[in-house]
Structure 1
């Protein structure tokens, strides 16, 4: 009997899902806008919409096949509890909320979906962990038992695999490389602290770095012609590809900070490889080459020459869904 799984990727803007088999073949896809359910009180309606979309997807299950489970990748998702705990960009309180106690923003999504699918296994973890699982089954980490997955988007996520197993920690929330402090008293982070890695190494982080450099010195740059609110990381990449000195320096500073944090992580887990995934990773050698160079410089001598830094082999459009489905094959 053909075994199938549904993978769900929940983002701040969109929710995407797909019906897949273990080989990575996609039988059906669907999705809707998460952003249509922005506030705390919208969560219940979101669950109903998600359940209805899943039921429609199940209609594509071919005769003789069986739905093995539903895997979910979501921000701030706890693998052990099946809950999303204080997701920064989802189901926020309205400004006029009389009781904006963030402790209330815990969403038991697995339990809520089990009410609609009582006979189906439902598992959830954070989106960086699902990316790591997808890479381990379908991508450049196939055959590896020890690696670190780093997702570079609006923020920085990470998933740590050691001895062939995802590291969840005692509470299900391990592996937050994005919130390692790299600059004491540095940039304010959405987590409430300052100087976290993701405030520097992310699409939003390099934008801030570019503007800081432009304010600090007079290096000529095409980026000076762009207003802050129209500025994005792709513009920095395009400028660097054209030889813009300031844009190249932005990537150099970004790689230096990333490599410093990665060198510390290597000393803890001794991975075979570090795999970069996400929009910022699409800058390719602009980020990859200096990251490799600085990593070798910062690594403890025991680890030098042993750790590969690679780009993900996963297609950006399907990686999140495939990785979420991989929770069922794990």
Structure 2
């Protein structure tokens, strides 16, 4: 068989998505399952094997598959292990790549979920043909992947590129997941946007806002966006502030690796110019002249749900041919 297909698996804290992908980036078939339903990784893999085997049968069997690529939280490319992932039920070190290889009988490779998305962007998305770029995922958290000189940066231990945990406001907002204060993720994630809204509503009790029609528990980033597009001043200020924090952080990232582009994706990017305009303004404002007006800020061309699956599958082809 020609083995022109690969499997991509995206393991998230809540759901796991997986699919069979061809070399052009077409996901031929895909499925999803709950990640958190299984306390033991062996039970998780049992269900995954059962579901994924059905997809592999649909495309002509295992002899058509070059390998399996996985994007997972705290996934270490060098070891193939998931290491101490805070948002997964399986604690400690999980040798996931080896376990998949044993189950399916074909090579498997693992990397961090944000790195997998970066590879997907480079292979199939907005960063096609680029050798230097950064991807930033603005979702529940802030993920990132750094590509320099055509290579994904892993660092000496496999965990390089955690830009979401860079401290941008020393002594700032507490991050319950890491214990850090003032990290980018505490401000520029969907969770961070919600917390900014709650802080402003509390600090300005007399300022009118559509958000006051809801309880604190009801307010989320989607609600803030809907208020902002209706012209709600407080909601628009939330995006201005978030864009300022993110733009200043991106200026630092630009001066570190001088990328051709920064590719933004994730739920927060759906706010479009509400977030992009202040991000661009504050990034340029904080760059040295030699870096100004050189870096493209672009949205991902990939469906958010597909990016990590595609990236993981591309990783599988690279591994096989290396």
Which range, TM-score by smaller chain?
over 0.9
**1:297 corresponds to which of 285, 288, 302:** 285
SS in 1 for 2:7: strand
Q: What residue in structure 2 maps to residue 196 of structure 1?
A: 183
- SS state at 1:36 partner: coil
Instruction: Give the equivalent residue in structure 1 for 2:274.
Output: 286
The CA deviation at 1:26 is 2.2
Alpha-carbon distance in structure 2 between the residues aligned to 1:113 and 1:60: 19
- Residues 236-268 of structure 1: per-residue CA shift (max 9 Å, x gap): 111111111111110111111111111111111
Q: State the Cα distance separating 1:63 from its structure 2 match.
A: 7.3
Q: Which residue of 1 aligns with 2:92?
A: 105
- The residue matched to 1:31 in structure 2 has which SS? strand
The residue that corresponds to 2:301 in the other structure is 313
Secondary structure, aligned partner of 1:68:
strand
1:199-226: CA deviation from partner (whole Å, max 9, x where unpaired): 1110100000011111112322101111
Match of residue 237 from structure 2: 249
Aligned counterparts of 2:173 and 2:61: Cα–Cα separation in 1: 55
Matches within 5 A, 1:80-95: 80-91=78-89
State the Cα deviation string for residues 294-320 of structure 1 (Å, max 9, x = none): 100011211001011111111123222
Q: Unaligned stretches of 5+ in structure 2?
A: none
Q: Specify the alignment match of 1:160 in structure 2.
A: 146
- Give, in whole Å, the separation in 1 of the partners of 2:233 and 2:290: 35
Instruction: Give the SS at the match of 2:79.
Output: coil
**1:219–1:245 contact (8 Å) kept in structure 2:** no
Q: Is residue 15 of structure 1 aligned with residue 13 of structure 2?
A: no
Q: CA RMSD in A?
A: 1.5
Partner residue of 2:65?
67
Q: What secondary structure sits across from 1:16 in the alignment? A: strand
State the Cα distance separating 1:2 from its structure 2 match: 4.8
Alpha-carbon distance in 1 for matches of 2:311, 2:274: 26
Report whether the alignment pairs 1:271 with 2:264.
Answer: no
After superposition, give the CA deviation of every residue in 1:163-217 in whole Å (9 maximum; x if it has no partner).
1110000100000000001122222221122111101110100000011111112
- The Cα of 1:3 is off from its aligned counterpart by 0.8
2:5 touches 2:23 (CA, 8 Å); kept in 1? yes
Name the SS of the counterpart of 2:315 in structure 1.
helix
Work out whether 1:329 is the aligned partner of 2:317: yes
| Alpha-carbon distance in structure 1 between the residues aligned to 2:62 and 2:143 | 38
CA distance in 2 between partners of 1:183 and 1:196 (Å)? 7
Q: In the alignment, does 2:120 pair up with 1:134?
A: yes
Q: Could you tell me how far 1:124 is from its partner in structure 2?
A: 1.0
TM-score under structure 2 length normalisation: 0.94
Q: How does 1:108-123 map to 2 (within 5 A)?
A: 108-118=95-105, 120-123=106-109
Q: Post-superposition shift, 1:52? A: 2.2
Structure-2 separation of matches of 1:266 and 1:326 = 26
Cα pair 2:3 2:66 within 8 Å, conserved: no
Work out the CA distance in 2 between the residues paired with 1:240 and 1:72. 37
Q: Counterparts of 1:55 and 1:173 in 2: how far apart (Å)?
A: 31
Query: Structure 1: where are the runs of 5+ without partners?
Result: 93-103
Among 226, 233, 241, which residue is 2:221 paired with? Answer: 233
Equivalent pair of 2:74/2:112 in contact (CA under 8 Å): yes
Q: Secondary structure at the match of 1:52?
A: helix
